Structure 1
Amino acid sequence: KKMKRKELESFLQQVDGFEKPKLLLEQYPTRPHIAACMLYTIHNTYDDIENKVVGDLGCGCGMLSIGTAMLGAGLCVGFDIDEDALEIFSRNVAEFELTNIDMIQCNVCSLSDTMFKSFDTIIMNPPFGTKHNKELRYDLPASYRFHKKKTVDIEVDLIRFSFKDPPPHTDNLKQLKIYLK
């Protein structure tokens, strides 16, 4: 039976997030609704999750990794530099009793091309690269007062890259798909 998007979202609402987000690492959770929509699209529109080897760069507490595992990834490997986030990730994986998921503590910028060639699909919710300065705080309720509608929509970009004819420096890479939220 194929999992429905709402069912996936319901499961993802049970994923624990950061206990103490680290500002310099730009740690913010991917919301269950956004994660479910993103992964459901990747899975159902492009068939890039089921039975695939998926890499989750900057996985944090594992929201996207857990979602891909639930959608039938052959294996999902989460990569993150933060040991505390990976501890939460590990607890989340244990709670869901998932076996098709693993994690590696590392700086994703130092991963080799060989490592990337091991994956069919790469997903990420990337940091914006803005937090090497003082903390910024936004008064969102005050900002929302300027909107006429009672609800506020937040735009999310889903970008898909597919390399069918890989650039010369990627040798044996048959196809790599990178998803950015």
Structure 2
Amino acid sequence: MKLKQLESLLGSLQQFDRPKIELEQYPTGPHIASRLLYTVNILRAENSFGDLSDKVVADFGCGCGTLGLAAGLLGAEHVTGFDIDQESIEIATSNADELDLDIDFVQCDIRNLTLSDRHIDTVVMNPPFGTRKKGADMEFLSVALKVASRAVYSLHKTSTRDHIRRTALREYNASSAEVLCELRFDVPQLYKFHKKKEVDVAVDLWRFIPTSNQGRHL
């Protein structure tokens, strides 16, 4: 699938009607979502990462399902989206049906996930940036590194780059933390306190490798 085709499909998806600021609900737009997953897919072909195609993928804080659906369109064996918000789960499910993709969506608090019999190869996520609740982004990353057996791909504000790398390697015991590219996250005017029609936020696409690749379960 070509990049433009992927972006076009993602652009047709339903998004939030009433986003919740307490959950930092900002839609992952088709432009950035397509480039994130397309970058991962190209890296697989060029560098033999093998983190997406034919793998079991989890989308943490899936929102309307954009990243998980993109993973499904690009050849993931199975995708499960996790979100605390029931309305998001309903929208994501509708979007999966629209694209005729067999994807599971689970309502839960990422922080309360426990290990069980659900194998996860790769986690993809656009976590809260932590502007409303400090440290929310790191809570997502901590859990992702505990459950992923191969890799975690995540978006974080470029301004937090040093903190992200230091925490991932020293506190979360990641064996690798690499910025693959810098992207522009288009934040539309969603909430009353937004003064501008849209704002571009510099974000890093990270690839984290868990310390052990012995096959964890969720």
Question: Is TM (by shorter chain) over 0.5?
Answer: yes
- State which structure, 1 or 2, has the greater radius of gyration over its C-alpha atoms: 1
1:148 is matched with: none
Does structure 1 residue 56 correspond to structure 2 residue 112? no
Structure 2 counterpart of 1:108, from 107, 110, 134? 110
Q: TM-score, normalised by structure 1?
A: 0.77
Does structure 1 residue 96 correspond to structure 2 residue 99? yes
Residues 153-162 or 54-63, more deviating: 153-162
**3-state SS of the aligned residue for 1:158?**
strand
RMSD (Å), alpha carbons: 2.4
2:203 is matched with: 156
1:119 is matched with: 120
Q: Which is bigger in relative contact order (C-alpha 8 A, separation at least 6)?
A: 1
8 Å contact 2:119–2:215 — kept in the other structure? no
1:149 is matched with: none
Question: Structure 1: which 5+ residue stretches go unaligned?
Answer: 145-151, 167-172, 177-181
Give the distance between the partners of 1:76 and 1:103, measured in 2 at CA: 9
* Structure 1 pair 162–5 and aligned structure 2 pair: CA distance change class (3 A): same
* Structure 1 pair 137–153 and aligned structure 2 pair: CA distance change class (3 A): closer
**3-state SS of the aligned residue for 1:157?**
strand
Shift of 1:87: 0.6
Shift of 1:36: 0.3
Give the distance between the partners of 1:114 and 1:82, measured in 2 at CA: 22
Higher strand share: 2
Give the distance between the partners of 1:9 and 1:34, measured in 2 at CA: 9
Does structure 1 residue 81 correspond to structure 2 residue 84? yes
Question: Structure 2: which 5+ residue stretches go unaligned?
Answer: 45-49, 135-190
1:20 is matched with: 18
8 Å contact 1:58–1:78 — kept in the other structure? yes
1:140 is matched with: 196
1:179 is matched with: none
How many pairs does the alignment contain?
155
**3-state SS of the aligned residue for 2:104?**
strand
Runs of 4+ aligned structure 1 residues displaced above 4 Å come to none
Give the distance between the partners of 1:48 and 1:158, measured in 2 at CA: 15
8 Å contact 1:162–1:175 — kept in the other structure? no
Q: TM-score, normalised by structure 2?
A: 0.65
1:174 is matched with: 214
**3-state SS of the aligned residue for 1:140?**
coil
